[in-house]
């Protein structure tokens, strides 16, 4: 009866209460697999991954081929950035229950974190062969393809489509305006391949990156900020050159410029549509820098190209860190006077996050973009065009009138009352 109550509490996400019951049952009775497996699962949901691994290991002493224990211990190892042990467990789970899409997906994700993109692509493809509607596997595969040269999987129509699109590239010359006809022609050819081969495909990504061989660890920083309202120390030396754009056509042009903008440190660049309800603006581009001097130097060089390649009146600005931080701490955005400095007492919150989530600071250096256009690039631009249509920005018609409806994006747009930008250059 108490065991049934513990399971009910777990289904209601009352993990602390269920843990008390399970611990009491273990004290009253001899340890057994079911109780230990349940206790480990509770720790897993409490994000106590070290404890989860420890108790799953005890459970596996009773039943070495328990699929659920192997599967969730593997994911716990992933959360602890112990990817070699995670791989061992997930492959054991595959032997216990062969041809499980979720197992293949997770093996693919582990290989991604180990920097073995070809192996990752192989397992993500296997997951999709078993379940063609496996969204996470499909999106992860599309992302991996954008970062991996010389992929050979002739039986995958998705990979075949990517390789065909990757033969294309936008023309660019730093002394000329970016040609709209070239954009339209190339987009039309790429989109025809997608429509013919992948007619039902949707992609939730809306930010188009050109990454470097270092990582900003933004997921880690936002977990710290969201959990404790603390700005990470790293973010006090994070600056960005920001370009605000008036329409989606200029956003595509900015991406082409960024793709060809040669910087000594290959700074991370990003173009995006704005989906955050509390942040103003619709279309933005960023170049990330690690000092104010570097940001201002890049700003000067970028402004010259913006005027030549896009619009003679367009300029960029320099900002510090992320907008969410400035909403909570208005002084954070100051650059020259009354500058906010890091509160050294916050370091204890940072240590807590890093101890609990070491995977958030783990980064393999195999995420550099391939040359040319990827399927990922094309699907993100389709999302941009749909966004433009939904907010009344008619510049999308100069590229394509095709219906790029996307439920993920529709839901996001409904959360914010968008209006076409009144930005003037």
Find how far residue 288's CA is from the centre of its chain. 16
What pLDDT is stored for residue 363 in this prediction?
64
Region for 338 from its dihedrals, namely left if φ exceeds 0, alpha if ψ lies in -120 to 50, beta otherwise = left
Write out pLDDT tens, residues 339-383. 999 999 999 999 999 988 888 877 665 578 888 899 999 999 999
The model carries a pTM of 0.93
What pLDDT is stored for residue 1 in this prediction?
61
Indicate the class that CATH gives domain 2-164. mainly alpha
Give the pairing type, strands 317-320 and 269-273: unpaired
Q: Give the residue extent of every domain in the chain.
A: 2-164, 207-414
**Measuring CA to CA, how many Å separate 207 from each of 137, 270, 271, 315?**
19, 7, 6, 21
Which is nearest to 421 in space by CA: 184, 248, 271, 206?
A: 248
Residue 95's contacts (CB-CB under 8 Å, 6 or more residues apart) are: none
Residue 71's contacts (CB-CB under 8 Å, 6 or more residues apart) are: 89, 90, 93, 102, 103, 106
Write out pLDDT tens, residues 88-136. 999 999 999 999 999 999 999 999 999 999 999 999 999 999 999 999 9
Residue 180 burial (CB count, 10 A): 14
What pLDDT is stored for residue 108 in this prediction?
97
Alpha carbon distance, N-terminus to C-terminus of the chain: 69
What pLDDT is stored for residue 379 in this prediction?
97
What pLDDT is stored for residue 212 in this prediction?
76
Q: What's the token pair of residue 11?
A: 């289904």
- SS3 state of residue 160: helix
- SS3 state of residue 316: coil
What pLDDT is stored for residue 218 in this prediction?
92
Element (H, E) at 3: helix 2-11
Residue 240 burial (CB count, 10 A): 26
DSSP track, 14-65: -HHHHHHHHHHHHHHS---HHHHHHHHHHHHHTT-HHHHHHHHHHHHHH-TT
CB 63 within 8 A of CB 57: no
Residue whose pair of structure tokens reads 């192997």 in the numeric block: 70
Query: 363 exposed, middle or buried (CB, 10 Å; 0-12, 13-18, 19+)?
Result: middle
What pLDDT is stored for residue 192 in this prediction?
96
Residues of the chain with pLDDT under 50: none
Query: What span, in angstroms and rounded, lies between the C-alpha atoms of 157 and 154?
Result: 8
């Amino acid at each position: 009866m108490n065991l049934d109550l513990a399971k009910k509490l777990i289904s209601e996400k009352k993990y602390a209460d269920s843990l008390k019951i399970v611990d009491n049952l273990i004290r009253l009775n001899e340890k057994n697999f079911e109780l230990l497996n349940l206790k480990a699962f509770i720790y897993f949901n409490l994000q106590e991954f070290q404890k989860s691994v420890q108790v799953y290991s005890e459970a596996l002493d009773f039943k070495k081929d328990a699929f659920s224990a192997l599967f969730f211990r593997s994911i716990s190892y992933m959360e602890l950035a112990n990817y070699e042990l995670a791989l061992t467990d997930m492959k054991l789970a595959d032997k216990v229950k062969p041809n499980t899409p979720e197992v293949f997906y997770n093996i693919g994700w582990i290989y991604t974190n180990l920097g073995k993109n070809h192996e990752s692509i192989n397992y993500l493809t296997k997951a999709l062969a078993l379940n063609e509607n496996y969204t996470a596997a499909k999106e992860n595969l599309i992302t991996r393809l954008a970062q991996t040269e010389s992929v050979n999987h002739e039986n995958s129509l998705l990979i075949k489509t990517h390789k065909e699109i990757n033969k294309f590239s936008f023309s660019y010359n730093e002394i000329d305006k970016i040609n709209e006809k070239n954009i339209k022609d190339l987009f039309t050819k790429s989109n025809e391949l997608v429509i013919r081969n992948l007619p039902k495909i949707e992609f939730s990504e809306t930010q188009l990156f050109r990454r470097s061989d270092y990582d900003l660890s933004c997921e880690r920083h936002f977990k710290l900020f969201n959990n404790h309202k603390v700005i990470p120390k790293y973010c006090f030396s994070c600056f960005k050159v920001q370009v605000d754009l008036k329409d989606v056509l200029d956003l595509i042009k900015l991406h082409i410029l960024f793709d060809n903008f040669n910087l000594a440190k290959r700074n991370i660049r990003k173009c995006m549509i704005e989906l955050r309800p509390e942040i103003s603006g619709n279309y933005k581009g960023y170049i990330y820098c690690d000092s104010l001097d570097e940001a201002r130097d890049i700003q000067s060089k970028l402004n010259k190209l913006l005027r030549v390649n896009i619009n003679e009146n367009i300029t960029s600005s320099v900002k510090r860190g992320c907008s969410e931080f400035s909403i909570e701490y208005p002084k954070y955005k100051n650059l020259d006077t009354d500058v906010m400095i890091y509160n050294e007492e916050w370091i204890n919150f940072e240590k807590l996050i890093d101890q609990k989530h070491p995977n958030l600071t783990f980064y393999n250096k195999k995420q550099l973009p391939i040359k040319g256009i990827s399927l990922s690039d094309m699907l993100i631009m389709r999302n941009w065009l749909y966004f433009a249509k939904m907010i009344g920005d008619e510049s999308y018609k100069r590229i394509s009138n095709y219906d790029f409806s996307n439920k993920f994006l529709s839901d996001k747009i409904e959360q914010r009352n968008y209006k076409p930008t009144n930005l003037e250059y």
